[in-house]
Amino acid sequence: MRGGERALIARHAGTVLAGQLAVMAFGVADTIIAGRYSEQALAALSVGAAIFVSVYVSLMGALQALLPVWAELHGGGRAGEVGRSVRQSLYLAAIAIMAGMAILLLPDAALRWTQVPAAMRGEVEAYLAVLAFALAPALLFRLFSTLNQSLGKPQLVTWLQLGSLAVKLPLSIWFTFGGAGLPAMGLVGCAWATLCVNWAMLGCAIWLLRNRAFYRDYGLWKRIEAPDWQQIRKFARLGVPGGLAVLVEVTSFTLMALFIARLGTAAAAAHQIASNLLAVAYMTPLSLAIATSARVSFWLGAGDTARARHACRLGFELTALCALFYAAAMAALRYELANVYSDNPAVIAMAGALLLAVAMYHFADAVQTFCVFVLRCYRVTLAPLVIYCAMLWGLGLGGSYLLAYRGLGPWTAMQSPLAFWIMSAFALVLTALLFGALLRWTMRQRA
């Protein structure tokens, strides 16, 4: 049973990872394309991507938090209840879409508060205005993805994500640099390519839900019911703290880009390289966390808490081993990796220095991500939110700002993006330790 459960988690995670890497390749491709177009475009992408990721991933977190609900229904053999639950989740998705679009269409306050240079703001605002209309299909596709993951069938999602990459890459190059009668759009061309691909992926997902036999037993296409506020409140109790926790985590990370922007284009470009590599590496622990939480919730729904704990242990072992491998690779190949993104020696040198701190950040990030996903299976969401606020916003982001611009204790102001990565990594290590202790205590209580 031990080997079978581990293999199942690994296969599920591997399938999710392939799709997630395809989606992450969108960002990698845009970073490389923007960097080759101009250093200014790369710096503007660093700021624009920070804002969009903060909005999208936070709202995505609220929807992704519904995975344990559907996985438990699946584990308990209650297929007929899945369709109604999914339809009710559309109301939550609609609220998320409206809130996210409003933020992306009106980013001026955030840009002024973080003192992003005025010369960069116009390009950032144009980039975000296009992405605002790519948000709805992205979040609705996330619901489709979460449903499939909860049912242990992520393959269709992965094939769509892989296929979308084959469309996204040439579109980004064409729209950015122009050609065949189309003028060069610069950075905003990457956003238009994302918009086109997101709507195409959603269209394919809807077609699959309508036509694949696998989905028929779940009754997804019955007429949508009026809002069931009791059900939506249950979603909110799980999804809102989960989404807010992701918001704190992501903004503590992405706000670095906005604060670093004032250090100049070389610093912003180096930070973008480091954050992009970290985001790619993060897909592996994220995939393992998704796969493990689906199995833990499945066994909880089936009433077998012992197997739920067993699945958790196996998933943690896989996550820790993969994180160690990625951290070692980042440290050993830091300058070679930076050179893939830029040929500017100053940017390469700065990015190489950042990647040493990024390696430690990644390992702690992998552990805390795994813990927070499994904690959701046990409906533990408020304590992680409190820990995130204190550690990531307080110690991480606040301490980073002080160390970078004002000095902290015996250390004078570094005036370098390295200050942000050092303090954020330290805060995330403490977060991972606290989450690990909380998960261990929770599983003992539910034994």
The predicted-structure confidence for 341-356, as pLDDT tens digits, reads as follows 777 887 888 888 888 8
pLDDT value of residue 349:
83
As beta bridge partners, residue 408 has: 411
Is the separation of the CB atoms in 427 and 395 below 8 Å? yes
Per-residue model confidence (pLDDT) at position 114 = 65
Give the per-residue pLDDT at 166. 87
* pLDDT for residue 1: 46
Q: Record the tokens describing residue 406, joined without a space.
A: 């004002």
- Contact call for residues 355 and 214 (beta carbons, < 8 A): no
Cα–Cα distance measured from residue 420 to residue 402, given in angstroms and rounded to the nearest whole number = 9
Distance CA 54, CA 249 (A): 9
Task: Decide: 442 and 423 in contact? Cβ < 8 Å.
Answer: no
What is the pLDDT, as a whole number, of residue 241? 85
* CA 439/CA 146 separation, integer angstroms: 23
Cα angle 257-415-250, degrees, rounded to a multiple of 5: 25
**CA R_g for the chain:** 21
CB neighbours of residue 218 within 10 Å: 22
Euclidean distance between CA atoms 155 and 174, whole angstroms: 30
CB of 187 within 8 A of CB of 31? no
Picking from 224, 246, 243, the residue whose alpha carbon sits closest to that of residue 89 is: 224
Q: Yes or no: say if 29 and 170 are a contact pair by the CB < 8 Å rule.
A: no
The separation between CA 62 and the C-alpha centre of its own chain, rounded to angstroms, equals 12
Give Cα 307 to chain centroid, integer Å.
28
CB 70 within 8 A of CB 298: no
pLDDT the model gives residue 202: 95
Residue with tokens 């250090």: 263
C-alpha–C-alpha distance, residues 84 and 66, integer Å: 13
Taking the chain (447 residues) in consecutive chunks of 10 residues, what is each chunk's mean pLDDT? 76 87 80 79 79 85 85 83 88 91 86 72 85 94 91 87 88 85 82 92 93 86 86 82 81 76 79 83 91 90 88 94 93 85 80 88 94 91 89 85 76 76 90 94 83
Q: Which phi-psi region, left, alpha or beta, contains residue 178 (left: φ > 0; alpha: ψ -120 to 50)?
A: left
Q: How far is CA 247 from CA 188, 237, 316, 383, in A?
A: 25, 16, 24, 15
pLDDT per residue as tens digits for the range 169-228: 888 889 888 877 788 787 888 889 999 999 999 999 999 999 888 888 888 888 888 888
